[in-house]
Amino acid sequence: MTIVVESGSVVPDGVPARARAVLKGEALDGESGGVTATLDAQGFSGATGETAVVTNSDGTPEFFVGFGEGAELDGEACRRAGAALAKAAHRVDAIACDCSSVLVFGLSPVEVATAVGEGAILSSYRFAAKRQKTDPPRLSRVILIGPDERALALGAERAEARGEAITFTRELVNEPPVELTPTRFSELARQRGAEKGFTVEVHDEHAIAEMGLGGLLGVAKGSAEEPRLVRADYTPEGGAETTVTLVGKGITFDSGGLSIKPLTAMMSMKYDVAGASSVLGVLGACKKLGIKVRVVGFMPLTENMPGGNATRPGDVVRTRNGKTIEILNTDAEGRLVLADALALAAEEHPDAIVDIATLTGGIVVALGKRLAGLMANDDRLAAAVERAAERAGEGFWRLPLPSGYRSIVDSDVADMKNVGPIGVGSALIAGLILEEFVDTSPWAHLDIAGTGWSDENDGYVRKGGTGFGVRTLLEFLEHYEPLGGKANDNPAGRKVVR
């Protein structure tokens, strides 16, 4: 069930439950001693994500939701509060929340409504398509009440658009891989383009071969499922002078190929399609959010399987830009499919290229499961992504692309190897390999291997696919300022190792 976020200046008639946003330490003026005592008895202090409920004299429930310290109020606090509200009120079908007390701090009413609405929508997400019996939350409407109804309405619209993009992404990632094949993904991309206002081209195996996408074909060789390349194009009404290209890794299932993964590492490998899913999710929100730049998306799609025709360690593939790669580990396949897609993106000379991928276990070792990796060949682009991530409440940490490490992947038989020594700077080396395919375009790489999947429910994050990165990319596109020209000659990340 999808929550609809609405707004108003007063509580509409017929709404069965009410809620009130409360700051930590806030004096509940006008409340009776009985209500205050009831809240105290429940241990309610107004801390972020705390909830308490009081039954009014007419028998209706009234929820109190903590937003934390007013001086520290940010989008993430509002998002967590929205998630707590939806969880607490899951047995009613609609609730009106008075947000007046939190609209007087640094965040605008639009930002508050967006974040609260996102938290409510995302926390209520359930992947239920394969369950015979489900017990979904009843809550289907959240009405945000405050003095600036117009601003709250705009925030509610943004929350719905962004929430839909993330839940769509989660749905794709959570689908069984036997059903979400490259062919099925491409069909869904066509449907989403028709519904959401962007064009979609789908290239089959024959076309992929004609285009010289040897990296994608090499990974696909071991699978009975044919690969696909999806190119999507959103152009705002009236056109745009600036183009941003998004590239998403789309491995619909990753067994590791002949370098097969152990069982425990393979169990969640349907989530290796998270990058491509994120790109498709983002494109579907562009029109409703009024994104002003043209957005092109490339999604290379394949399984990575150990079939009789699978690529062997020692094989060499030739990529779109002519560079050859010696395959020493078939489980380092994401960089191969991205190499072709990035080369295609660079040929169109966009203002910026951003790829998103569940790329390396090394990023999980380095940053854990709450931070994603950011690498870039351009300081301006890296800073823009970092600002977007901060507004979105998603954690990214910029890592270097040290030129002194490039020789690690020198090959005796090809232009490069697809891996370096086991356990040595693997996330950085993967980034350096990808950089070989972007030419002079400003480019950023988002490695979401640790954040694209969750093993537990945590606030608005649900078990399974998380949709991590979608909010950051949408914030990035909404606030995009053209870079113009080539990437920096000497970005900050290059200075770490000589």
Active site residue ranges = 261, 335
CA 348 to CA 294: how far, in whole Å?
A: 12
CA 235 to CA 392: how far, in whole Å?
A: 24
CA 66 to CA 52: how far, in whole Å?
A: 9
Name every residue whose Cβ is closer than 8 Å to that of residue 367 and which is 6 or more positions away in sequence.
373, 397, 450
CA 449 to CA 451: how far, in whole Å?
A: 6
Among 271, 287, 474, 482, smallest CA distance to 378 is for: 482
CA 498 to CA 490: how far, in whole Å?
A: 12
CA 197 to CA 213: how far, in whole Å?
A: 28
- Hey, how many other C-beta atoms are within 10 angstroms of the C-beta on 369? 16
CA 406 to CA 431: how far, in whole Å?
A: 10
Interstrand relation of 294-304 and 141-145 (parallel, antiparallel or unpaired):
unpaired
CA 228 to CA 297: how far, in whole Å?
A: 14
Name every residue whose Cβ is closer than 8 Å to that of residue 97 and which is 6 or more positions away in sequence.
18, 19, 20, 21, 63, 65, 85, 116, 142, 143, 144, 145
Alpha helices (runs of H) in 349-469, residue ranges in sequence order: 361-367, 379-392, 426-435
CA 180 to CA 274: how far, in whole Å?
A: 12
CB 219 within 8 A of CB 268: no
